[in-house]
Structure 1
Amino acid sequence: MTYEQLIVLHAIVTEGTFRGAAERLNKSQSAISHMLKKLEAEIDIVLLSREDYRPKLTSAGKIFYRQTIRVMQQMNELGSLAKTLNAKQEAEVSLAIAATLPLQPTLGIIGRVRSEFPATHIHLSRENLSGLIERLLSGSADIIIATMDGVPEERVEAVSFADVTILPVAHPDFEPAQSMHMKSATEMQSYTQIVVADSGSGALTQSKDLLPGGLRWTVTDTVAKKEILKAGLGWGGIPEHMIKEELARGELVQLNVEGFQPRQSRLFQIRKRDRDVGVVAQAIWDDLIGTEG
């Protein structure tokens, strides 16, 4: 039994399919299936039932999986301890945060850490989509707060941080906002969708909530996107926390679009397993865990 096999089991259970696990772990579906079968053979227990479309934990599998979660948590804690014991105060720590996340939860942490370690320069950036994981994997960010989309789970340590709700909205005078009946994707293709550009280089491009074949206007950040939506020049998804006041005043209204219902996006604090951790980066990491929402 190996730790990698436990990661595979965890990915299958959390993603709900072998295909989803393969995409998360950046492995082939056949490799995922082989590793699970090898684990089951080694422990002589059938962990997952394959009778339905989605694999389900067997009775024995549920008990084994609960212990798997504990082992993975203990491994993460052990790895963090080892890194802390070898840690040195860094000259610079880089933190990259998803542009959809409110900054407030992290600002207090950064302020406290700066007071305790004034000699360390803290670099904070806001990134979109694959720009976050690209910065982490390239080594230009010590910690990111992002979704797990496209993240090689076996290479990182990740802790759930917060949920962000994305709402499709437009100005009340925008034609699709005139009624609440569901608009089909075909109907919406003639209306301009405002989207935020991926801040990555393109090697790990991600896309979320894009209408296939529709008109599109790409902007660099969510603040510009919100202003364009308020001006009635298009429609698009915006984090709910960014538009609460506009919704309350009626300056923006929620749309009812096929395939674009309100979406909850789970964000994680993530760091590479093989990267040396200094005392400042560890302090930020530990404080972030304490703010999980």
Structure 2
Amino acid sequence: MTYEQLVVLHAIVTEGTFRGAAEKLNKSQSAVSHMLKKLETEIDIVLLSREEYRPTLTPAGDVFYRQAMRVMQQMQQLGSIAKNLSSTQEAEVFLAVTATYPLKDLLKIIGEVTAEYPATHIKLSGEAMGGSVERLMNDQADIIIASMDGVPADQVEAIPFAQVTIMPVAHPDFEPAQSSHLKTISEMQSYTQIVVADSSSGAFSQSRDLLPGGLRWTVSDFMAKKEILLANMGWGGIPTHMIEDELASGELVPLNVEGYQPRQSHLFQIRKRDKDIGIVAQNIWEKLQECH
């Protein structure tokens, strides 16, 4: 039994299909199937039922999987300890954070770390969509806060960090906001959707909540998007923490659009397994864990 086999099992369970797991791990579907079969043969347990379209854990597989997740977490913690024991204070630490996350708690951590390690330069970059992931995988960022979309799970250490609610909203005078009935995709195609541009160059591009076939206006950040919505020039999804006052005052109102209900964006603190870590980056990593 190997750690890589457990990673494959985890990917199949979380992605729901062998194909999805293969794409997540950047492996062929046959390689994923072979590794799982080899694991089942070694432990003499059928972990997944293949009777339905989507593989499901067998009763024995469910028990094994829950224990395997604890082992994986312990392995990640052991790796962190090993890196920390051999670490040195670095000249610079780069953090890349998804633009949907409120920075208040993170800024407090950066302030504490800066006071403790004044010689280390902390760089903080706000990124949209796949930008954070691209910086991490290209070794431009030490730690990121982002969703796991497009992240190769076998190459990173990822810990659940926060949840952000994304809600479709518009100005109360915006025509589709005049009634609460469900608007179909075809009804909304004639109205301009305001979207934030992906800050990645394309390799880790992410596209979420884009109305197919609709009019679209792309902006650089959420503040610009918010101003455009307040000016009654379109509609779009925004993290609710950014528009609490506007929702309370009625300056912006929720929209009821087919396939665009409020959704929870699950964010993780993520770092690469093979990247050397210094004491400052490790300190930030641990403080991030403590704040959620």
Q: Which moved more, 1:14-23 or 1:114-123?
A: 14-23
Please name the residue that 1:70 is paired with.
Answer: 70
For residues 252 and 27 of structure 2, the distance between their equivalents in structure 1, rounded to whole angstroms, comes to 42
The Cα offsets for residues 56-98 of structure 1, whole Å up to 9 and x where unpaired, read as 2111111111210111011101110111011000010000100
SS at match of 1:161: strand
Q: Which moved more, 1:59-68 or 1:225-234?
A: 59-68
Please name the residue that 1:33 is paired with.
Answer: 33
What 5-or-longer segments of structure 1 have no aligned partner?
Answer: none
Amino acid of the structure 2 residue aligned with 1:220 = S
Please name the residue that 2:179 is paired with.
Answer: 179
Superposition deviation, residue 191 in structure 1? 0.4
Which residues of 2 match residues 137-148 of structure 1 at below 5 A?
137-148=137-148
Which residues of 2 match residues 87-102 of structure 1 at below 5 A?
87-102=87-102
Please name the residue that 1:262 is paired with.
Answer: 262
Superposition deviation, residue 129 in structure 1? 1.0
SS at match of 2:261: coil
Amino acid of the structure 2 residue aligned with 1:201 = S
For residues 152 and 199 of structure 2, the distance between their equivalents in structure 1, rounded to whole angstroms, comes to 19
Please name the residue that 2:105 is paired with.
Answer: 105
Amino acid of the structure 1 residue aligned with 2:132 = L
SS at match of 2:289: helix
For residues 91 and 280 of structure 2, the distance between their equivalents in structure 1, rounded to whole angstroms, comes to 9
TM-score (normalised: structure 2): 0.98
For residues 66 and 151 of structure 2, the distance between their equivalents in structure 1, rounded to whole angstroms, comes to 23
How many pairs are equivalent? 292
For residues 185 and 111 of structure 1, the distance between their equivalents in structure 2, rounded to whole angstroms, comes to 45
2:210 is the counterpart of 1:225: no
Q: Percent identity?
A: 72
Amino acid of the structure 2 residue aligned with 1:27 = K
Please name the residue that 1:190 is paired with.
Answer: 190
SS at match of 2:218: strand
For residues 9 and 20 of structure 1, the distance between their equivalents in structure 2, rounded to whole angstroms, comes to 12
Amino acid of the structure 1 residue aligned with 2:131 = G
For residues 26 and 248 of structure 1, the distance between their equivalents in structure 2, rounded to whole angstroms, comes to 45
The Cα offsets for residues 162-189 of structure 1, whole Å up to 9 and x where unpaired, read as 0011001110100111111111111111
SS at match of 1:62: helix
For residues 15 and 205 of structure 1, the distance between their equivalents in structure 2, rounded to whole angstroms, comes to 19
Which residues of 2 match residues 16-55 of structure 1 at below 5 A?
16-55=16-55
Superposition deviation, residue 51 in structure 1? 1.8
For residues 28 and 198 of structure 1, the distance between their equivalents in structure 2, rounded to whole angstroms, comes to 27
Which residues of 2 match residues 122-271 of structure 1 at below 5 A?
122-271=122-271
Please name the residue that 1:8 is paired with.
Answer: 8
The Cα offsets for residues 199-249 of structure 1, whole Å up to 9 and x where unpaired, read as 011222111110111100000001100110111100000001111111110
SS at match of 2:161: strand
For residues 148 and 25 of structure 2, the distance between their equivalents in structure 1, rounded to whole angstroms, comes to 10
SS at match of 1:89: coil
For residues 29 and 265 of structure 1, the distance between their equivalents in structure 2, rounded to whole angstroms, comes to 27
TM-score (normalised: structure 1): 0.97
